[in-house]
Chain A
Amino acid sequence: MTGKNNANFNKEYVELVSKLTPKTNEPKTLFHAFWVGGFICMIGQFIKIVLSSAFGLYGDNLAGATSMVLIFLSALLTGLGVYDRIGKYAGGGSIVPITGFANSVVSPAMEFKSEGFVYGLSAKMFTVAGPIIVFGVIGSVATGLIYYVLGLLGVIA
């Protein structure tokens, strides 16, 4: 600390950290997000091919079944504490895939289990998933109504 007092040192340290952190980490975090996120999607593509040849699924059903398998895997990995470690490394690469959605359901549910099964576990499952479902449902109803009205007006077939 070469003769600097504590307050001065803290201030300079905070300035140094805020100056250095984003620049040094940025390309690295982007790369981590890219390859982990891409890899998860590639696993999804693999599951899709397996499901379509094993069960003859196609279209939206195939996409839905693929999501279910990925969500199952992510719920399991989150329970085992593995997914959070992946998250520390990958950032956005582990948040944005549907596996991150499942992780956001399981993590708080597990954490608040001690507060009970109704207001703890079950309620906290939706701390992050809740807003997604709320905005998703509202957005889809709005989309549906707009397309319905456009159909009535004869704008679209």
Chain B
Amino acid sequence: MIDILMQFVKAFVVGGAICTLAQFIINKTKLTSGKILVFFMLGGLVLQALGVYKYLVDFAGAGATVPISGFGYLLAEGAIKGAKAGIFGAITGGLSSASAGVTAAVTFGYLSALIFNTKSKYN
């Protein structure tokens, strides 16, 4: 019970900290949300390529995998695993392991945009 509670606390604190860092950068630089997403994704990717991000994932669980940096982590992790199997795996491993997110975003994104219409921008 305490164990599960701690999992939630860790996810909350680490995930919140990553988002706070993003907000801090937005406040300082006025970067658009698209660029923030790209930078954080690349941040997770590079950290995992250096073999660091997985420790954060082991510690914080969803607190490290739910932010977009976790998407970059999955890409790098898949590529590293694939590279052990050979050159083909090295090239395709990244997108293979990140396929769930991309598939869900395309499928659910398309369906949602099909069904719903833009709400007034002035609310």
Contact = CB atoms under 8 A, between A and B. Distances in A.
A135 interface: yes
Classify the interface of chain A: helix, strand, loop or mixed.
helix
Contacts of A32: 23
A140 B67 contact: no
Contacts of A92: 19-26, 36
B35 to A, nearest CB: 8
Q: How large is the interface on B (under 10, 10 to 19, 20 to 34, 35 or more residues)?
A: 35 or more
Q: Is the interface of B mostly helix, strand, loop or mixed?
A: helix
Given A32-B23, A144-B91, 10 more contacts: A38-B12, A60-B74, A63-B70, A64-B74, A121-B110, A125-B106, A132-B38, A140-B98, A147-B79, A147-B90
Interface of A: 22, 25-26, 29-30, 32-42, 44-49, 60, 63-68, 70-72, 75-76, 78-81, 84-85, 90-93, 95-102, 104-106, 109-111, 113, 121-122, 125, 127-129, 131-133, 135-137, 139-141, 143-148, 151
19 contacts: A34-B19, A41-B11, A67-B101, A68-B101, A75-B109, A81-B123, A91-B23, A92-B25, A95-B37, A96-B67, A97-B68, A98-B67, A101-B37, A104-B33, A128-B33, A139-B76, A143-B75, A144-B82, A145-B83
